[in-house]
Structure 1
Amino acid sequence: MKPETLYENLNSVDEQLLERSETAKAPRRRPWWMGAVAAALVAVVALGAAFWPKGSPLGVEAHAIETAAYPEMAPYPDEADYVDQATGEYDNEGFNQAHDAWWESKQALLPEEGYADGLDSFFQESIPVFLGGKEGENAAYSPVNVYMALAMLAELTDGASRQQILDLLGSDSLEALRQQAQAVWRAQYQNDGATTTILASSVWLDEDISYNQETMQTLAESYYASSYQGQMGSEEYTQLLQEWLNDQTGGLLEEQAEGVELKPEDVLALATTLYYKARWADEFSPENTSPQTFHAPSGDVEVDFMHQTMEESYYRGENFGVVRKGLQNSGAMWLILPDEGTTPEQLLEQGDALEPLLAEYNWEDWETRTVHLSLPKFDVVSETDLLDGLEALGVTDVMDPAASDFSPLTSEIEGLYLSSAQHAVRVTTDEEGVEAAAYTVFSLSATSAGEMPEELDFVLDRPFLFAITSDDGLPLFVGAVNHP
């Protein structure tokens, strides 16, 4: 199929469905021949990506047939900007007006309360599966990122192939899943200059295959999915996907993205990303950072530990303790420390270590304590092949060419199957805050075949679990730190 034809068909998308809020921008329609001229502008308008170190690759625009445009947010005001440098007077009214504008733009994006109902089962089932099997190693997983990829995959399937995905994600219909995925996207999105949470999606099409236009339109409308078309298996097309992944993840996963490849036998690839950056609500003082011993499985190592004493919530579970450390205008990082003699992997198998942050937990089970926190600065990178885990979670038909049903995608090819499911995550911490990124790439190929003390020392000097949750409690990242 010619790119011009597919682009013209996608132009029939109802733009009203893309108006997520009063501040949302619908994708700008342009004639095919204007793509090269508008490329640089689209990169800025669509992504608002001032924080990305390399900028958006211009080469990818030559293959673009649809570019997602994201909502705009009012910037979060910096109080220092409202202090007169000459007189020292503080413009309280000006700051309040700017803060109100920021708050209104944030609230305009939020879906109705209860939008995440039913997601806990997917998170609780998938986290142990995708973090397991890495005894003694660092591991990380982004539940929300994989959820979005699976939701998009469901749009391409039908019959039992679709039903298995719906069952895993806790949805009773494709329409319900679509609405919930939209709500998840809106609820997480934040790009106000202070905190960043951006979920991106893209579809990579083979230029020689005809696709169901209605399905492609749904991906564009419902998942903010940019679409590209090119020659599968070519070095250029693979490089463009890698550059797109690096753009959307702030360059944090550049080494891992080098392993992503579009093969000649691939028919389509779906890619989803999640980039997150937030400051601690109460930052660590660099003066209090000092070397300390971390008892890694492979032996003791000296690493830099950040130290802070704070009044914080503490939860005591069976064989573990949890401290929650807030993030500015965002969610929180949860630090889950196993008791001596218990590994993070054993906690995951135990099953209840993540309940305090995933479930509608009872705050009465938490105690406010003076916590003397010692947290190692860590940089955790993890790559996971999701295929075995998806099979263990009941998603099997999409991997079997004889059983899979990808009829909503195309009627031109039989024997399509999910041939690759790559997931990479990186989470870093320092005195200022947290930066994290994740991507998931699905490739479809064709084949012919006790009593609580008043004060608490919470020293994470041995392997521990962590989780980063959003404002409304969804787990954006979870992981195990065995080697900071």
Structure 2
Amino acid sequence: MKADDLLDGLEHIDPQLVHQADKPPQKTPHRRPLWMGLTAVAAAAAIVIGIVLWPGGGPLTGQASALAVAEYPEMAPYPNEMDYLNSDGTLDFDRWSADHDAWRASQKAQLNQPEGYDSGLEGYYTAALRQFLGDGGTENKVCSPLNIYFALGMLAELTGGSSRQQILDLLGHDTIDTLRAQAKALWNANYNDDGMLTSVLASSLWLNEDITFVQSTLDTLADTYYASSYQGEMGSAQLDQALRAWLNDQTGGLLEEAAGQVSLDPETALALATTVYYQGRWSQEFNPANTAPDVFHTPEGDVTCDFMHSSSSNNYYWGDQFSAVGKSVLYGGTLWMVLPDEGVSVDQLLADPEAMEFLLSDGEWDNQKYLIVNLSMPKFDVSGQLDLIQGLQAMGITDVFDPAVSDFTPMTEAVEDISVTQATHASRVAVDEEGVTAAAFTAMAMGGSGMPPEDEVDFTLDRPFLFLLTSSQGQPLFAGVVNQPG
């Protein structure tokens, strides 16, 4: 069920029953990372793209000057009923109801996007998942397809001619105008920061202070991609530190090690960065008392790790080479877990059109049955760092990496022979009994699982599997391969 459908359903619920039967969790707008003791679903991703001269989220004080600052949507906070109790312990219903209506209206405003705004992305998502998750060998792999989409969209704004057209072709657009409309709608539909669910998208540009840039392009990026632009001394320790601090701030510190490796050369004309930070709680949490050690069969041998267990009614899905289950996040989408059949590798699934179609179906699938699912899955914390250049070239984006043919005139006409020389993508997803936490950044410097015969099925993720974390609107925020659950 998508979030807008769920919100519509709330229209018909007597709010008094919420107080009586479903006490919401305490409001925690600033949660600690998992390794500091919080149990949650967490994910983060980021991209940094460095655009270099070819040789021959808040204000940054004293390190870079702001040329354009994005204004984020203001969202009404989730009304935690514990904040509305009278001195005698009863609920101040009128005040709670008014704030609840404001929160619901705020949610629906973000989700109120043009019909079909997310259509036409299947080709890009399929290519990205195969390119960046395949050939993993024995290691974990993780990426954020939506994060990479926004980085490429921003790159399209900075380029012209065939440099831009190659990006438009990959993202399924004929013109930059249709890409802008889709990107803005996607950004808003997938943005949430209300104290209950965190799904924060952020973008920034870092500009060489010795180069003049086209202000209208910066303004378009601020309006469409909510990107703030800063200008400073390229190659300086101060600007590098400012960029690292921005990445850490936007990804909840989940990618601190990867962010600490980001640096820009003095020859850098511009760097763009996009991030995704996600934190949510399961609609039905695992009982920690049921968590117990068990064996996970990695490609390199058996290891013992903590497995979470639950038994509940759920939809069970299958295809010729896989079975799958989805676990919903409260107001925030679904974690899809896809298990290859015995004798089938994850790479074979990625090459299987049916499996890829399922991954992008968001549960709209014929082969499914509602039954009791006895789920056993390992707690996992997986991270990865990718150099995107070779993968993007294989997907048809080549001109921006070649200074002889690249066109960056929409960004600046002050210099020539500019190309992308760095495109780094880092992601992390952590899952435990209460939920998921995830983050990502992208930086660019310039055997036939048939229908189960009974009404109960065991779904045990004790060998390498695929996962896909979708937003409330079904967009693939994070995807990965778990070969090693630790």
Q: Same fold (TM over 0.5)?
A: yes
Q: Structure 1 residue 69 and structure 2 residue 91: aligned?
A: no
Number of equivalences: 430
Secondary structure in structure 2 of the residue aligned to 1:193: coil
Spell out, residue by residue over 1:285-327, the C-alpha distance to the aligned partner (whole angstroms, 9 max, x if none).
1111111111111111111111100111111112111101110
Aligned runs of 1:22-171 on 2, under 5 Å?
Answer: 50-51=30-31, 59=61, 62-84=64-86, 86=88, 88-110=89-111, 111-171=113-173
Structure 2 vs 1, CA of residues 100 and 363 (structure 1 numbering), >3 Å: closer, same or farther? Answer: farther
- Given residue 233 of structure 1, which amino acid in structure 2 is its aligned partner? G
* Equivalent position of 1:417 in the other structure: 419
Q: Measure how far apart 1:366 and its partner are.
A: 1.6
Q: Which residue of 1 aligns with 2:473?
A: 472
Structure 1 residue aligned with 2:8: none
Q: Secondary structure at the match of 1:109?
A: helix
AA partner of residue 253 (structure 2) = G
List gaps (5 residues or longer) in structure 1: 1-47, 445-449
Give the whole-Å Cα distance in 2 for the aligned partners of 1:317 and 1:372: 19
Alignment of 1:400 onto 2:402: yes
Counterpart contact for 2:68–2:218, Cα < 8 Å: no
Structure 1 residue 84 displacement after superposition:
4.6
Identity across matched positions, percent: 52
After TM superposition, the score normalised by the length of structure 2 is: 0.85
Residue identity in the other structure for 1:99: H
Equivalents in 2 of 1:360, 1:427: separation in Å? 19
CA displacement at 1:258 relative to structure 2: 1.3
**2:60 and 2:235 mapped to 1: Cα distance?**
20
How far apart are residue 90 of structure 1 and its match? 4.2
Code of the aligned partner of 2:374 = H
User: Could you tell me how far 1:362 is from its partner in structure 2?
Assistant: 4.1
| C-alpha RMSD of the superposition | 2.0
Unaligned runs of 5+ in 2: 1-27, 34-56
Distance 1:311 1:150 in 2: 40
CA contact (8 A) 2:281 2:434 kept: yes
Q: What code does the residue aligned with 2:258 have?
A: Q
SS of residue matched to 1:96: helix
Shift in alpha-carbon separation, 1:291–1:381, aligned structure 2, 3 A: same
TM-score between both structures, scaled by the size of structure 1: 0.85
Worse-matched range after superposition: 266-275 or 66-75: 66-75
- Cα separation, 1, equivalents of 2:69 and 2:261: 25
For residue 354 of structure 1, what is the aligned residue in structure 2? 356
Equivalent pair of 1:120/1:359 in contact (CA under 8 Å): no
Matching residue of 2:325: 323
Paired residue secondary structure (2:222): helix
**Which residue of 217, 241, 248 corresponds with 1:246?**
248
Q: Distance between the aligned counterparts of 2:389 and 2:353, measured in 1?
A: 22
Q: CA 1:325–1:361 in structure 2 vs 1: closer, same or farther (change >3 Å)?
A: closer
Is 1:304 paired with 2:326?
no
Alpha-carbon distance in structure 2 between the residues aligned to 1:184 and 1:230? 30
Alignment check: 8 A CA contact 1:63 1:228 kept: yes
1:208-264 deviation per Cα after TM superposition (whole angstroms, max 9, x unaligned): 011112211211222111111111111111111111000000000000111211111
Question: Which residue matches 2:336?
Answer: 334
Change (3 A) 1:266 1:158: same
Deviations 1:390-426 (A, max 9, x none): 0111001111111111111111211111111100000
> What's the offset of the Cα at 1:165?
0.3
For 2:471, give the aligned amino acid.
S
1:324 alignment partner, SS class: strand
User: For 1:184-228, what per-residue CA distance to the aligned partner results, in whole angstroms no more than 9, with x for missing partners?
Assistant: 110001001010111100000000011112211211222111111
Aligned CA distance change for structure 1 residues 430 and 205 (closer, same or farther; 3 Å): same
| 1:482 alignment counterpart | 483
Q: State the shift of 1:52 in Å.
A: 7.9
Please say if residues 117 and 186 of structure 2, whose CA atoms lie closer than 8 Å, have aligned partners that are also in contact: yes
The answer to whether the 8 A contact 2:374-2:458 is kept is yes
Alpha-carbon offset, residue 133 of structure 1: 2.5
Q: Residues 12-31 of structure 1: matches in 2 within 5 Å?
A: none
Instruction: Look up the SS of the partner of 1:352 in the other structure.
Output: helix
SS of residue matched to 2:354: coil
Tell me the distance in 2 between the aligned counterparts of 1:361 and 1:434.
Answer: 19
Question: Structure 1 counterpart of 2:255, which letter?
Answer: L
Q: Is the 8 A contact 1:57 1:244 kept in 2?
A: no
